[in-house]
Amino acid sequence: MTMTMTNLHDHVGAEVAGVNLSHPVDDTSFADIEQAFYEKSVLVFRGQDLSPDAHIGFSRRFGPLEVHILHQYQLDGHPEVLVLSNKTDAEGKAIGLVDAGRYWHTDVSFTETPSMGSFLYAVEIPPKGGDTLFASQFAAYDALPKEWKSRLGGLKALHGLNKTTAPKFTDAQLALVKGVAHPLIRTHPKTGRRALYGGVFVDKILDVSDTESDDILSFLRKHWAREDFVYRHRWQVGDLVMWDNRSILHHATPFDGQYIRHMHRTTVEGEKPV
Ligand code: OGA
Ligand code: MN
């Protein structure tokens, strides 16, 4: 099989074909996949048949895996796999996270070292709805007017959990989240490119007046997910989609709850944004 890559959008995403992820990928192909991932921010592999072990094995080549704080939704016997699902068990209790984030976010940016990459595999998919949107934050940075680039350079934002984002966490889990300052512009450690780093967990901009913070945030909230930065992924069963949280904001979209959407996710540890 020859591996090919096809761009999915001007700024973000490539589809990788000719790779069977149920077997270990050879080192040369892996190096190409890794490079493309850091440059394109989102990679899509269609038609995969991934056991939890194969999913974990592939993800782990990018770095150590995280075990999500929502431990009630770990896959039995595979704590590294988080279940996203609207299925329920015999008692009617959710077996997975039903809503993984219907707002623009980058995963767990309210922690000191937010996740690097998330690897989401589609097991069951509704006939319509439930797409995932990905906005390139390389493109969002590049498109900033010059005066905004200099205005934002050096500023930090406070990321935390707030009224929009907290409801799915328990009080004990919330108590662990203190809020953390991250630069608004970060440099990608592998490519050296600058990316805007914001999203729904940003509560305010630090070391400026409240008025200035509001002013900056109202600009950024319109800017960071501008339509021309966005790739919409329409899921098929067997898709593995991986995204680089350092250069992407993403957004889950709703679907009709009479259908099942069932996915497995692994998550690779990240570093402190700089
Ligand atoms: C996630 C997430 C989007 C989706 O798993 O972090 O945001 O569409 N998922 O399920
Ligand atoms: Mn997410």
Distance 185 CA to ligand 1 centre (A): 23
Query: What's the pLDDT at 270?
Result: 98
Q: Name the 3-class secondary structure at 72.
A: helix
Please state, as a whole number, how many other Cβ atoms lie within 10 Å of the Cβ of residue 253.
Answer: 12
Encoded tokens for 182: 């991250």
Instruction: Report d(CA 108, CA 114) in Å as an integer.
Output: 5
Query: What's the pLDDT at 168?
Result: 66
Closest ligand relative to 97 C-alpha? 1
Q: Is the CB of 185 under 6 A from ligand 1?
A: no
Nearest CA owner, ligand 1 atom 9: 100
Query: What residue spans define the domains of the chain?
Result: 4-268
* The domain defined by 4-268 carries CATH number 2.60.320.10: no
Q: Is the CB of 252 under 6 A from ligand 1?
A: yes
Query: What's the pLDDT at 25?
Result: 96
Q: Is the CB of 106 under 6 A from ligand 1?
A: no
Residue range 23-60, pLDDT digits in tens:
999 999 999 999 999 999 999 999 999 999 999 999 99
Q: Is the CB of 100 under 6 A from ligand 1?
A: yes
Strands lying side by side in the sheet with 4-7: 4-7, 14-17, 42-45, 240-244, 117-124, 262-268, 78-85, 74-75
Q: Is the CB of 247 under 6 A from ligand 1?
A: no
Distance 50 CA to ligand 2 centre (A): 20
- Ligand 1: atom nearest CA of 120 is 5
DSSP-assigned letters across all residues of 16-51:
EES--TTSPPPHHHHHHHHHHHHHHSEEEE-S----
Please give the model's pTM, rounded to 2 decimal places.
0.95
- Ligand 1: atom nearest CA of 132 is 8
- The residues that are catalytic are 105, 107, 250, 265
Instruction: Report d(CA 58, CA 120) in Å as an integer.
Output: 12
Closest ligand relative to 129 C-alpha? 1
Distance 209 CA to ligand 1 centre (A): 33
Nearest CA owner, ligand 1 atom 3: 252
Strand partners, 122: 263
Distance 1 CA to ligand 2 centre (A): 32
Closest ligand relative to 251 C-alpha? 1
- Ligand 1: atom nearest CA of 105 is 7
The residue ranges of the chain whose pLDDT is under 70 are 163-164, 166-169
